[in-house]
Amino acid sequence: MATPVLDKVEAEAAASPYITVTFRIRRFNPEVSAEAVWEDFQLEIDPKERVLDGLHKIKWDLDGTLTFRRSCAHGICGSDAMRINGKNRLACKTLIKDINPEKPITVEAIKGLTVLKDLVVDMDPFFQAYRDVMPFLITKDTNEPTRERLQTAEDRERFDDTTKCILCAACTSSCPVFWNDGQYFGPAAIVNAHRFIFDSRDEAGEQRLEILNDRDGVWRCRTTFNCTDACPRGIEVTKAIAEVKKALITRRF
Amino acid sequence: MKIHKYDTVIVGAGGAGMRAAIESTKRSRTAVLTKLYPTRSHTGAAQGGMAAALANVEEDNWEWHTFDTVKGGDYLVDQDAAEILAKEAIDSVLDLEKMGLPFNRTPNGTIDQRRFGGHSRNHGEAPVRRSCYAADRTGHMILQTLYQNCVKEGVEFFNEFYVLDQLITEEDGVRKSAGVVAYELATGEIHVFQAKAVIYASGGCGKFFKVTSNAHTLTGDGQAAVYRRGLPLEDMEFFQFHPTGIWRMGILLTEGARGEGGILRNKDGERFMEKYAPVMKDLASRDVVSRSIYTEIREGRGCGPEGDHVYLDLTHLPPEQLDAKLPDITEFARTYLGIEPYTDPIPIQPTAHYAMGGIPTNVEGEVLADNTTVVPGLYAAGEVACVSVHGANRLGTNSLLDINVFGRRAGIAAAEYSQRTATFVELPENPAQLVVDQIEQLRSSTGTERVATLRKELQETMDANVMVFRTEQTIKTAVEKIAELRERYKNVSIQDKGRRFNTDLLEAIELGNLLDLAEVMAVSALARKESRGGHYREDYPNRDDVNFMRHTMAYREVGDDGTDSIRLDYKPVVQTRYQPMERKY
């Protein structure tokens, strides 16, 4: 049963080689100071552990005031998007060994949304943009079918990529256009519009396209691909935005 | 302190809470109080599917589904409730499809279905394809679809509001729900929500175990709030250990992996489930598979240098099938273990997964104050509740079903109740007092105990003593340890004394909830001197229908000196069609 990879994984796990790393965290608490500051923490950690495990070690053993959101701890709930070594990632999906633990690991809040405390940002504008694209199936059926609507496997596949979104905001808060102008819908809202525009069952694509044709809509995208790089679900965000743009030009989808 | 008035208040915004909210908002003025943003719920971590006898790919019917649910629960299931679950499953799945859920499709365009543990054709003859799914992201799709429909219906959410207390007022000798008290994370402000009806849909309590598939936030807040106000908790000794958690981390790898053909193997490469479940093999019910894995490990056939796990082998499945049907779990193996599931088997071990027990309700979601009396205005649905459709062991794919069927039922029942009830129940005097005192005590405490230390000790004792195998000795060890931890908890202090986003404070409160529920679980387990479903006593290895074909009801009693204790009572099981039989897979 054993394979070389497996032998290595199991042997390494048994050895548990702890290393010392420095977490350099951008702290902000308006109850204490109006200024944000960098603070260093040194800790012992197994390099196969997650950045989230490191944050927990700090909160639980060193400084209980360190504040961040988290829940599932394996990349499904979307709570813990943060800027780790300058890139947007989920803390629970980033292993210490994959981000060069030799140097201090910098952790700060995602950009473009107001920081409320430490790594916690105000998510309301993000969810407002999401709600603005009418993110729900709209059909004009006067008589609902008794059974399920039929959809071919190919039609289902057409929008599969954008159904994976967990609304973590890693994409939107990595976008330079969004940093400069919070009115821009941002990649996540467009991804969620795409999910319905290209769903063969939906009949409100035209309305959603009109919403995204706005001054603050898809045309603001400068295709820097930051969003695609940032997406922890591997969604081809920039491609989805391009497909929406193309649909706007041809009005065929 | 702010006071709000709503017809209906829903506590929790996972699958059950949002399914209830969609119904309730159409019928009554509704507020949803949720400690997380709605799409953060652990419903999103559910993977494999939602059971319904659609018969899209092979012959099936709801009666077979009912039987499988009753048998899977080792006959502790209330059979009237199981019948509702299986019958309404079909419309529940179709409703979700109509709401927009992107199910995988068959070649003719209908919803595709796959095999899952314990689901069989014709009362156990062979596995049946009953699980409706969207790759291995079914929970994610359900959560997203329900949130999308909450947006559509204009559901009013109070995000990051932690409900810390249930308000009960006695009127004419009847205890009625008056509302809830919530703590606003962003500001530290306390809010009282007066409501004609309250629905708890706040999820499970699996975080009292160390190796668990549960989120950090699953700390039994709803169960604890209700229990502290003297209402019972049912069947808390029954906890499900999912067979395939990632070794040491506990992250869930769906049973759908075995539904797609995955095989469990020991260090000799042997397909050991053939020995324990000749018909259903790797797709036997979860309690059976988890015990079999630990038997292999105990008898020296575990894998790795320490022999402490077994393998989930997917290497014989075509990579295209893994990519299409199991994309997320194969990615978990790559991300967290550095393993390529195309070529390497995945190290796994059982992981604490699901509470079968919880707040007792009837099939309308109404909470019970004892074996028969309903608490007017109080409802519960989902993992926080115990209807009981899962009995001693839940079948895979029946929880996503449960939240939809009983979330919907509770939403309708609560909203109709608040519509036909003219007046609000009066709030108790100083309604927020308990919460104010609790928070002040924690914030001002200079005690020497740390939350993280106590939580770690709790999780270690639970894993060591009340997991897959239990004996009187191990359970007593746990009971004593929990009592010690509850005592030390009085001396706990926190570092963050602020008001703004004080998660330090909330972790302390959550630990208090976990300690209370762990005690109920251990005390209930100690008294059940038999083995049934997820509760396996090595000193009583057989099921004992004569003495224990009954639900446990645990009540908190407070003595004159202020000390609390647990009183156990029992409730009959509802049996309709199916007489208890020996359970074989």
- Find, in chain B, the residue whose alpha carbon is nearest to that of A203: B100
Distance from CA of B5 to the nearest CA of A (A): 24
Q: Examine residue B232 and state whether it is found in any structural domain, yes or no.
A: no
Q: Examine residue B329 and state whether it is found in any structural domain, yes or no.
A: yes
What are the structure tokens assigned to B34, written together? 């949720």
Q: Examine residue B117 and state whether it is found in any structural domain, yes or no.
A: no
Condensed to tens digits (0 to 9), the pLDDT of residues B218-274 reads 999 999 999 999 999 999 999 999 999 999 999 999 999 999 999 999 999 999 999
The pTM of this model reads 0.97
Band of the pLDDT at A252, cuts 50, 70, 90? low
Clarify whether residues A74 and A163 are in a common domain: no
If one counts every other C-beta atom within 10 angstroms of the C-beta of residue B248, the result is 17
Q: Examine residue B138 and state whether it is found in any structural domain, yes or no.
A: no
B24 is in an annotated binding site: no
Write down the pLDDT at residue A143.
Answer: 73
Instruction: State the total domains in chain B.
Output: 2
Band of the pLDDT at A4, cuts 50, 70, 90? confident
Quote the CA–CA distance of A67 and A90 in Å, as a whole number. 15
CB contact under 8 A, A10 and B344: no
Partners of residue B311 in chain A, C-beta under 8 Å = 1
Instruction: State the total domains in chain A.
Output: 2
Gap between the terminal Cα atoms of chain B: 56
CB contact under 8 A, A74 and B267: no
Cross-chain CB nearest to B109 (options A74, A137, A152): A152
Contacts of A27 (CB under 8 A, 6+ apart): A36, A37, A38, A39, A66, A118
Q: Examine residue A87 and state whether it is found in any structural domain, yes or no.
A: yes
**Low-confidence winner among A144-148, B175-179, B398-402 (lowest mean pLDDT):** A144-148
For residues A177-204, average pLDDT: 96
**Which residues span the domain enclosing A36?**
15-121
Mean of the per-residue pLDDT values of chain B: 97
**B305, B330, B349 - which closes a domain:** B349
Q: Examine residue A190 and state whether it is found in any structural domain, yes or no.
A: yes
Clarify whether residues A110 and A206 are in a common domain: no
**Which residues span the domain enclosing B260?**
246-349
B98 is in an annotated binding site: no
The question of whether B286 is a catalytic residue gets the answer yes
B16 is in an annotated binding site: yes
pLDDT beyond 60 at B385: yes
Quote the CA–CA distance of B254 and B330 in Å, as a whole number. 10
Q: Examine residue A9 and state whether it is found in any structural domain, yes or no.
A: no
Give, in degrees to the nearest 5, the angle at Cα B37 between B515 and A40: 75
What CATH number is attached to the domain comprising B481?
1.20.58.100
Interface of B with A in 280-319 (CB under 8 A): 303-306, 311, 313
Partners of residue B303 in chain A, C-beta under 8 Å = 1-2, 10
Q: Examine residue A1 and state whether it is found in any structural domain, yes or no.
A: no
Q: Is the dihedral of CA A4, A9, A10, A11 positive or negative?
A: positive
For residues B186-190, average pLDDT: 98
Main-chain phi, psi angles of B456, to 5 degrees: -65, -45
ipTM for the whole complex: 0.96
Q: Cβ(B551)–Cβ(B234) under 8 Å?
A: yes
Write down the pLDDT at residue A253.
Answer: 55
B41 is in an annotated binding site: yes
Paired sense of beta strands B233-234 and B550-558, if any: antiparallel
Write down the pLDDT at residue A215.
Answer: 86
Distance from CA of B376 to the nearest CA of A (A): 33
Clarify whether residues A154 and A115 are in a common domain: no
Q: How big is the A-B interface in CB pairs under 8 Å?
A: 185
Buried b (16+ CB within 10 A) or exposed e, B395-425: bbbbbbbbbbbbbbbbbbbbbbbbeeeeebb
Give the residue ranges of DSSP H helices in B42-166. 62-72, 79-99, 138-153
Clarify whether residues A85 and A156 are in a common domain: no
**B349, B381, B412 - which closes a domain:** B349
CB contact under 8 A, B102 and A70: no
Clarify whether residues A178 and A213 are in a common domain: yes
Clarify whether residues A68 and A150 are in a common domain: no
Specify the residue for token string 């809830």.
Answer: B180
Condensed to tens digits (0 to 9), the pLDDT of residues B502-512 reads 999 999 999 99
**B193 at A interface, C-beta within 8 A:** no
Band of the pLDDT at B9, cuts 50, 70, 90? very high
Q: Cβ(A45)–Cβ(A58) under 8 Å?
A: no
**A29 at B interface, C-beta within 8 A:** yes
B49 is in an annotated binding site: yes
B42 is in an annotated binding site: yes
Q: Examine residue B512 and state whether it is found in any structural domain, yes or no.
A: yes
Cross-chain CB nearest to B305 (options A14, A120, A134): A14
Clarify whether residues A230 and A142 are in a common domain: yes
- Find, in chain B, the residue whose alpha carbon is nearest to that of A64: B495
Give, in degrees to the nearest 5, the angle at Cα B374 between B32 and B63: 85
Q: Examine residue A3 and state whether it is found in any structural domain, yes or no.
A: no
Clarify whether residues A138 and A114 are in a common domain: no
What are the structure tokens assigned to A26, written together? 């951008």
Clarify whether residues A82 and A170 are in a common domain: no
CB contact under 8 A, A116 and B186: yes
Clarify whether residues A109 and A128 are in a common domain: no
**B329, B349, B369 - which closes a domain:** B349
**B554 at A interface, C-beta within 8 A:** no
**A246 at B interface, C-beta within 8 A:** no
Q: Is the dihedral of CA A91, A95, A98, A99 positive or negative?
A: positive
Q: Examine residue A7 and state whether it is found in any structural domain, yes or no.
A: no
Condensed to tens digits (0 to 9), the pLDDT of residues B102-156 reads 999 999 999 999 999 999 999 999 999 999 999 999 999 999 999 999 999 999 9
* CA B70 to centroid of chain Cα atoms: 18
Condensed to tens digits (0 to 9), the pLDDT of residues B330-339 reads 999 999 999 9
Q: Examine residue A5 and state whether it is found in any structural domain, yes or no.
A: no
Q: Cβ(B164)–Cβ(B182) under 8 Å?
A: yes
Could you say which DSSP state residue B364 is in?
A: T
Mean of the per-residue pLDDT values of chain A: 94
Clarify whether residues A220 and A109 are in a common domain: no
**B211 at A interface, C-beta within 8 A:** no
Clarify whether residues A244 and A174 are in a common domain: yes
CB contact under 8 A, B98 and A148: yes
What CATH number is attached to the domain comprising A110?
3.10.20.30
What CATH number is attached to the domain comprising A144?
1.10.1060.10
Condensed to tens digits (0 to 9), the pLDDT of residues B420-470 reads 999 999 999 999 999 999 999 999 999 999 999 999 999 999 999 999 999
- Find, in chain A, the residue whose alpha carbon is nearest to that of B252: A74
